[in-house]
Amino acid sequence: MLNETSIAFAATGVLVAGVTWVLYHRRVAVTAAEIGATLPWFAVIGIAVAVGRSTSVSGFPAGFLQSPTVYLVVGALVAGLWVIFDFAGIQQRSRWMAASGVLMTLIVGGGTVITIGAPQPRVLVWNGVAVVLAVGVTVLVLWTVPSGYRSTPGWLGAGVLFAHALDATTTGVGLEKLGTTERNPISAALIQMGEGAGVSGVLLFLVVKVAVALLILRALDSDVDPAGRETISLLVVAAGAGLVPAVHNLTLFALTVS
């Protein structure tokens, strides 16, 4: 017998198939810039996953907050916006896509706070510290690491670095200051390895995350300027792989730490 999660996944799959069919038959041309502009939507995924794991949402609606269904839901929304932009003849679609992602993040995040209640002040402070530290690490890396070792330029390259740095700093703040535990077994093993070797496990995790981000940027370096859709797509996925858990951490702290 199908449960609510399976039904939600199946329904979302039908929605994705329908939107994909419309994209194909309308021959909607999606540019590299428009693909890059979808990055803020990964923050929506991070918030939704945290809400699904930390609140009492149950039944059929809860199925849409589970992974991988939530990824498909957000993907369908993004594809639907492409169809709407094309149908309406909207210009500067990349800006509209990025703005809509930021707006949806604010709506979902704000709606969660209004529904569940304001987080503790100390949680807000430490969340702010994590963000500031991630910005500082990103700027430091961009200033000190030779461009040949982080070949991908522009805001998207910086976005990959920032997303993975934020994942590390939020993890560190959660473990060291807010009393949380690391659920990802790979991350937990790496942090424990550092502690066992007599160094800061959190610092080791940050160094590894930044190193991985730099390797990704180096591997995705392209001789084509501007980069093509395939390269931009991979960069967005790479940045999203850091941004989703980072925003998930920030949201989870706000909802669960007292």
Give me the phi and psi of 139, to 5 degrees please: -65, -45
CA–CA gap between residue 225 and residue 61 (Å, rounded): 44
Cα distances (angstroms) measured from residue 193 to each of 103, 107, 179, 189: 40, 39, 19, 6
Chain segment 136-187, per-residue pLDDT in tens: 999 999 888 876 555 565 788 899 999 999 999 999 999 999 989 888 899 9
Residue 245: cis peptide before it, omega within 30 degrees of 0: no
DSSP helix/strand/coil, 32: helix
Chain segment 113-135, per-residue pLDDT in tens: 888 877 889 999 999 999 999 99
DSSP tag of 253: H
Per-residue pLDDT for the chain (258 aa), expressed as one digit of tens each? 357 778 888 888 899 899 989 988 888 888 888 999 999 999 999 999 999 888 767 666 777 888 888 999 999 999 999 999 988 888 889 999 999 999 999 999 988 888 887 788 999 999 999 999 999 999 999 888 876 555 565 788 899 999 999 999 999 999 999 989 888 899 999 999 988 877 788 999 999 999 999 999 888 876 566 678 888 999 999 999 999 999 999 999 999 887
CA–CA gap between residue 143 and residue 158 (Å, rounded): 11
Instruction: Give domain limits for the chain.
Output: 1-117, 119-258
What integer pLDDT is reported at residue 123 of this predicted model? 94
What integer pLDDT is reported at residue 104 of this predicted model? 95
Cα distances (angstroms) measured from residue 251 to each of 27, 58, 226: 38, 19, 35
What integer pLDDT is reported at residue 1 of this predicted model? 39
What integer pLDDT is reported at residue 151 of this predicted model? 59
